[in-house]
A and B are shown apart, each in its own frame.
Chain A
Amino acid sequence: MNTLVCLAAILFLLMILIGGKKGARSFIALFLNFGVLFLTILFMLDPSGNPIILTLISCVVISCINLFYINKVNVKTKAAFISTIITVTILILFIVVTTKVTMIQGFGEEESDELSIYTVYIGVDFVKIATSVIIMSAIGAITDIAISISSPMREVFHHHPTITKKELFNYGMAIGRDIFGTSANTLFFAFFGGYLGLLIWFNDLSYSVGEIVNSKVFSAEMVTILCAGIGVALTFPITSWVNTFYLLKMKNDDKDSQTSTED
């Protein structure tokens, strides 16, 4: 039997066993996300399309799956969704500039063995693809933080409706700071694990520090880790702000509608 199928089956069973219905939904979400990624890649094959706009669209779909499908549509997930999209948009602007100046797109000379049978002149803009890759690497973590901050902020607002704007925002920031370290760790270790082979290889070749730091492959990894980290860090002030704004606006709308019915 195929290893991947077997692992997927075990994961599915465990998720149902421990998570029940929500576990099943989480597993299906994983599958749907794979589908979105698959379609994104197919659309990226067309040289006339813009990979960055494509990425933005996929991010919207992926956050819909992660937030609305797993957790249902409610105030919390709506606020988290808005925060995710704002963060991703800001991050894209930053990463577009970064990939342009660092020139980390495409493939390093270390990968050239694998490439020798293919033509690399395929008309697809790899600079833009590099931007997409970084955004897509971080999208899972960004939606995670957005929902982790939105839920408790909504709870606090529910229990203390008189809370001031500033208190609510600070509460969101405090939660963000508490979970930030471990969320960032999740991403960093995932990258470390993925790059382990390359790091060992750099050591085997006894590259000098100067050669490692300036090589395309290593720079690309570093830029991905750092940009993803910046994105995750930006998510929590943005989410706190969006929630403060959204929750207070909802409260004011309620008040307005109440006063209007009284009239």
Chain B
Amino acid sequence: MKQLFTKKNIIIYSILAVCFIGSLLFVHNNYSFYDRTIVKVVETNLEDITEISDMHQNEDQIYTQSITAEIKNGEEKGQLIQLTNKYSDSAAIDNEYKAGKELFVKLDANPDSNSELTGSIKDIKRDKYLLIITWLFIFTLLIVGKRQGFYALISLVISAIILAIAIEVYVNTANISLLVICGISIILFTIISLLLVNGFNEKSYAAILATLLGTFLSLLITYLVMLFTSEQGLRYEEMQFLTRPPQLIFMAGLLIGALGAVMDVAITISSSLFGLYEKDNNISIKALKKSGLDIGRDIMGTMTNILFFAYISGSIPMMLLYLRNGSNLSFTFSMNLSLELARALSGGIGIVLTIPIGLYTTIYFINKKRSKP
């Protein structure tokens, strides 16, 4: 608290404040940057309510609302437009719009210039909400995490940029293997994230080595299992929108998805073993091994659970839809969960394997340090 208002901090706060206010102003006035027509809802009127039910005893209500909205960009800027919108109680693919909401619409061809403008609703303008949540995220990280929060933010941004570039390269280059690109990106992710968090030292080197070995070994195991079981039980239908071979993309996603967890395990093991070594330079290898395994045992359960929930939860809405439409349990689960479960299991294998690997790479670097005079 005592150094809250140093010169450096004041500069940082001012830059942040300018970015925050500037971006908010931009996103509330960026209508002219969009090609699509944007309207702002002025008034809504509920026209009709219909109750519906189907053969699976699903009951819902469908509402029809008429909307008057003001056009915010393009040639018709400032004019009013009439829209109709249908929405339901479950709101799976529809929404009720209230005054003030901004929407993308497609204008109907309007031969007679005297008649009212009409159109159809295409999407919602979500950029301003995303921006506010992003800022909340940034502020939470900086306030709670201080310097480390800032580094976490930087490493996240760099990772996102690497990922974006990797995808760009993959999509625009013919005959290039996604696995090669992902392999290279993973090496970059690992080196950058671990060096940024821990700096240039043996601790980081041991963790980087363990991470890379652990990730690629778990990929190899998963690949071999898929080969030997001829991918029985894996349903790629949920990726059917892709015009590319889903297996490859699934494997690449697997590699990236497990990386964070494997890094976490590797750095936890290497920093705690180096901590023990620094406290007592003569600590025996046997004692190090025992502590390393103890630490590994403590974290492997919770780490696999992180992956499990992060992967599986996203499938809940689709499973509800399947089940309410009369699909049976086993069909619903195999269609929606097979890939997610495979990802979670293979990530878990990576996590568990990294414990002994991290142990040995760390001991290797400790031995190397010891042998130096």
Q: How far is the CA of A223 from the CA of B198 in the complex (A)?
A: 29
Contact of A200 among B62, B170, B228, B319 (CB under 8 A): B170
B140 A129 Cβ-Cβ under 8 A: no
Report the separation of the CA atoms of residues A158 and B199 in the bound assembly, to the nearest whole angstrom.
Answer: 31
Given B92, B133, B255, B343, which contacts A194 in the complex, CB threshold below 8 Å? Answer: B343
**Nearest neighbor of A199 in chain B, beta-carbon distance:** B167
Contact indicator A187/B306 (Cβ below 8 Å): yes
* CB closest chain-A residue, reference B168: A203
Residues of A close to B311: CB separation below 8 A? 190, 194
Binary CB contact string for chain B from 337 to 354 against chain A (1 if under 8 A, 0 otherwise): 010111101111100110
* Most A-side CB within 10 Å, residue of B149, B159, B297, B310: B310
Taking CB atoms, residues of chain A closer than 8 Å to B141 are 229, 233
Say if the beta carbon of A93 comes within 8 Å of chain B: no
Query: Looking across the interface, which residue of chain B has its beta carbon closest to that of A206?
Result: B171
- Are the C-beta atoms of B253 and A19 separated by less than 8 Å? no
**Residues B310 and A141 in contact, CB atoms below 8 Å apart:** yes
Q: Is the CB of A103 within 8 A of B352?
A: no
Is the C-beta of A39 less than 8 angstroms from some C-beta in chain B? Answer: no
Known A37-B312, A182-B197; judge A6-B317 contact (CB<8 A): no
Q: Does B130 sit at the interface, judged by CB under 8 A?
A: yes
**How far apart are the CA atoms of A230 and B143 in the complex, in Å?**
11
Interface string of B238-253 (1 = CB under 8 A from A): 1111111010011011
With A29-B301, A124-B324 in contact, do A107 and B232 touch (Cβ < 8 Å)?
A: no
Q: Which of B84-129 contact A (CB under 8 A)?
A: 88-93, 95, 104, 123-127, 129
A122 in contact with B226 (CB, 8 Å): no
Question: How many Å from the CB of B309 to the closest CB on chain A?
Answer: 4
Q: Count A-side interface residues using an 8 Å CB cutoff.
A: 119
Pair B253/A182 contact, Cβ less than 8 Å: no
* Among A10, A111, A137, A190, contact of B349 (Cβ-Cβ < 8 Å): A10
Chain B residue contacts of A187, Cβ below 8 A = 260, 306, 310
A253 to B265: give the CA distance in the assembly, Å. 38
Residue B136, interface by CB 8 Å: yes
A98→B135 CA distance, assembly (Å): 13
| Closest Cβ–Cβ distance, residue B273 to chain A (whole Å) | 15
Known A41-B319, A118-B325, A141-B306; contact A210-B36, beta-carbon cutoff 8 A: yes
Complex Cα gap A34–B356 (Å) = 27
CB distance from A97 to the nearest CB of B (A): 10
Q: Closest CB of chain A to B171's CB: distance in Å?
A: 4
Asked whether A123 lies within 8 Å of B89 as measured between CB atoms, the reply is yes
Q: Could you tell me the distance in whole angstroms from the C-beta of A41 to the nearest C-beta in chain B? A: 6
Interface residues on B, range: 35 or more
Is A226 an interface residue, CB under 8 A from the partner?
yes
Q: Which of B58, B92, B253, B293 contacts A196 (CB 8 A)?
A: B253
Chain A, residue nearest B317 (CB): A129
Residues on A with C-beta less than 8 A from B307 are 140, 186, 190
Given contacts A133-B316, A200-B249, A237-B144, contact A186 B58 (CB under 8 A): no
A30 to B325, CA, bound (A): 29
A106 and B92 within 8 A (CB): yes
A3 CB to nearest chain B CB (Å) = 4
Q: How far is the CB of A188 from chain B (nearest CB, A)?
A: 6
Q: How many A-B residue pairs have CB under 8 A?
A: 395
Q: Which of B255-284 contact A (CB under 8 A)?
A: 255-261, 263-264, 267-268
Q: Which residues of B contact A214 (CB under 8 A)?
A: 104, 123-127
B261, A189: Cβ atoms closer than 8 Å = yes
CA–CA, A226 and B140, complex, Å:
10
Q: Give me 27 A-to-B residue pairs in the complex whose CB atoms sit less than 8 angstroms apart, sorted by A's number.
A: A3-B342, A7-B225, A26-B300, A37-B313, A41-B316, A45-B324, A102-B126, A102-B133, A104-B126, A118-B322, A121-B62, A126-B92, A144-B299, A177-B147, A180-B144, A189-B260, A190-B260, A190-B306, A192-B163, A197-B239, A197-B250, A204-B242, A210-B36, A219-B126, A222-B134, A228-B310, A234-B144
Interface residues of A (CB under 8 A from B): 1-8, 10-11, 14-15, 18-20, 22-23, 25-26, 29-30, 33-34, 37, 41, 44-45, 47, 62, 66, 70-71, 98, 101-107, 109-115, 118-127, 129-130, 132-134, 136-141, 143-144, 147-148, 151, 176-194, 196-197, 199-201, 203-204, 208, 210-211, 213-216, 219, 222-224, 226-230, 233-234, 236-237
Q: B residues touching A (Cβ–Cβ < 8 Å)?
A: 33-36, 52, 54, 56, 58-60, 62, 88-93, 95, 104, 123-127, 129-130, 133-134, 136-137, 140-141, 144-149, 151-152, 155-156, 159-160, 163-164, 167-168, 170-171, 189, 193, 197, 221-222, 225-226, 228-229, 231-234, 237-244, 246, 249-250, 252-261, 263-264, 267-268, 293, 296-314, 316-325, 338, 340-343, 345-349, 352-353, 355-356
